[in-house]
Structure 1
Amino acid sequence: MTNAEAYDRGFAQLSSHTVGPLLDRACAPRLLDVGCGTGVVTSAALALGAEVTAVDADPGMLELTARRHPYATVRQAVLPDLPFDDEEFDAIAGNFVINHVPDTAGALKELHRVLRPGGTIALTWWKSDEMTATNVFADAIAAAGVPYEPPARPFTGNDTPRRFTELLEAAGFEAAAVDPVRWRHRVDLATWWDDIVQAGGPRFAMIARQPPETVERIRACYTRLAAPYEREGFPVCAYLAHAARSGR
């Protein structure tokens, strides 16, 4: 299984919970799915009749999205540099991508550039202190006594609703607002472990690199810490920001 396939089985299923609310705020004939991952937003937008352009930085993700969705335009691109003309899109949706971009302000200005006047944008990111579904892995690493320095989160200073609304307005958007979205992520706990560890990513790739006995120790801690959520699922919260580009 490739990292993209493992991501699709794990993280993509977690992030799919916000696709409906995201597209309620930003779905129009010409849609840019920025940071498309394995295509959960692209799939839903195509089903709604949108003409979708999907971009991501990861070639494996793009290959999977292009194979599954031949009617979408799939291109490699990294914010804040998008290979599109000014005002090319009617709407922009970004599902858990803005929290991975080092330059939040620059990325929002670029998204404003490629959005037509009157067009809408919607972006999601995790509320980090209510992310039990993934925080349980960090807690398991700590409980196992494994030295671990999580990667820096450059988005942390911009992740509050007030601050992000200010950034949207500074980039030229209007009617900016941020809403919380909460749900329970119900998943088989053993499968969730396999998919997150196989997908790796910047936070948890270190688990698979440990000696087998250390991996098993972390897994035992994960199993214990995750057990209370087996029946009702992990509580999760994300923020959904939405705004419009002012019309002429």
Structure 2
Amino acid sequence: MTTTAFDDHERSRWAGRAAAYDRSLAALCAHPAPSLLDAANVGAGTRVLDAGTGSGTVARLASARGATVVAVDAEPSMVELARSRVPSAEEVRLAALPRLPFSSGSFDAAVANFVINHVGDPLAAIGELRRVVRPGGRIAVTIWPDPPPEAQSLWGEVFDAAGVDRPTSVPRVDAERDFPRTPEGFAGLLDAAGLVDVRCDTITWAHRTDPEAWWGGPANGISRPGLLMETQPAAMIVRIRAAYNELTAPYRDPDGLLARPTAALLASASVP
């Protein structure tokens, strides 16, 4: 299922972490789901593939619209969770981009919510989505932009305040396979895959969450901050937590929820 060192790294990072993801970052990733399905023209009678379903948020919403849903994920714990969350799905199975176990033209639409961030060959991944969607069908995908928005960049501020030494190198997509994480760069990726009527929109919102949930993601090894957190000694974790509490205090609502601006890129296109 893996094709690059980055893919191997991503598989190892998410192994067994479905529950931790569901408690922390799932709500953040859920926000663009309605817009993602709108961009793919998913409605009653649409046969749609949800690639990288995670905890099943997009698949469940598509099913509620009356679509026929097939969902896949590369992580077994995610597949198990999504199966329990979306019993109406036609199928939820283990599979990963850029190799999907479906015939060409099997779907009316394909969506991938924050999945392209986690694959080692983004163009091949988009090309595979194109392959499994019929001519005239729609593809819609989301990614996090770079530079990161305020909600995500908070962790850099926390680590700087705590005095955490950053690693000199972290696993990344090979330069020759990467693309600019900008509206123009993301649209260019879909264009390079041979899709048509390409557009890319920026979605902005304020993410409101329990501060413990936001802390719990990296504290349980989720995302790049989690990779850094799990290598720290106990004394440094105490310092990181103190910095987190101090830096998030100004952004807490009267009800105690943490609110920070964030953004996502939503690109969509048609299959010629």
TM-score, normalization by structure 1? 0.92
The correspondence for 2:132, drawn from 109, 114, 121, is: 114
Distance 1:87 1:45 in 2: 19
For 1:58, the equivalent position in structure 2 comes to 75
Distance 1:236 1:71 in 2: 32
Aligned residue runs from structure 1 range 121-200, under 5 A:
121-149=139-167, 151-154=170-173, 157-200=179-222
For 1:230, the equivalent position in structure 2 comes to 252
SS of structure 2 residue aligned to 1:184? strand
What is the Cα-based RMSD across aligned positions, in Å? 1.8
Distance 1:199 1:52 in 2: 30
SS of structure 2 residue aligned to 1:127? coil
Maintained 8 Å contact 1:200/1:206: no
Maintained 8 Å contact 1:173/1:244: yes
For 1:4, the equivalent position in structure 2 comes to 18
Deviation (angstroms), 1:67: 1.6
SS of structure 1 residue aligned to 2:82? helix
Q: Which amino acid aligns with 1:115?
A: V
Between stretches 220-229 and 103-112, larger displacement belongs to 220-229
Maintained 8 Å contact 2:162/2:239: yes
Maintained 8 Å contact 1:11/1:196: no
Deviation (angstroms), 1:199: 4.8
Maintained 8 Å contact 2:220/2:226: no
Q: Which amino acid aligns with 1:34?
A: A
Deviation (angstroms), 1:163: 2.3
For 1:216, the equivalent position in structure 2 comes to 238
**Structure 2 gap segments, 5+ residues each:** 1-15
Aligned residue runs from structure 1 range 37-76, under 5 A:
37-72=54-89, 73-76=91-94
Maintained 8 Å contact 2:121/2:178: no
Query: Percent identity, aligned pairs only?
Result: 42
Alpha-carbon deviations, 1:20-61, whole Å to 9, x = none?
110111115110001111111011011011111111111111
Maintained 8 Å contact 2:217/2:226: no
Distance 2:107 2:132 in 1: 6
Say whether 1:17 aligns with 2:31: yes
**Quick one: structure 1 residues 134 and 162, their matched pair in 2 at CA, closer, same or farther if it must change by over 3 Å?**
closer
Between stretches 141-150 and 98-107, larger displacement belongs to 141-150
**Quick one: structure 1 residues 194 and 60, their matched pair in 2 at CA, closer, same or farther if it must change by over 3 Å?**
same
SS of structure 2 residue aligned to 1:233? strand
Distance 1:123 1:6 in 2: 23
Alpha-carbon deviations, 1:139-171, whole Å to 9, x = none?
212221122226344286332222222221221
Distance 1:167 1:129 in 2: 18
Between stretches 74-83 and 133-142, larger displacement belongs to 133-142
Distance 2:187 2:223 in 1: 28
Deviation (angstroms), 1:223: 1.5
Distance 2:250 2:170 in 1: 27
Maintained 8 Å contact 1:130/1:235: no
**Structure 1 gap segments, 5+ residues each:** none
For 1:85, the equivalent position in structure 2 comes to 103
The correspondence for 2:266, drawn from 235, 240, 243, is: 240
Distance 2:60 2:83 in 1: 11
TM-score, normalization by structure 2? 0.84
Alpha-carbon deviations, 1:210-237, whole Å to 9, x = none?
2222111011111222222212711001
Q: Which amino acid aligns with 2:38?
A: D
The aligned length equals 245
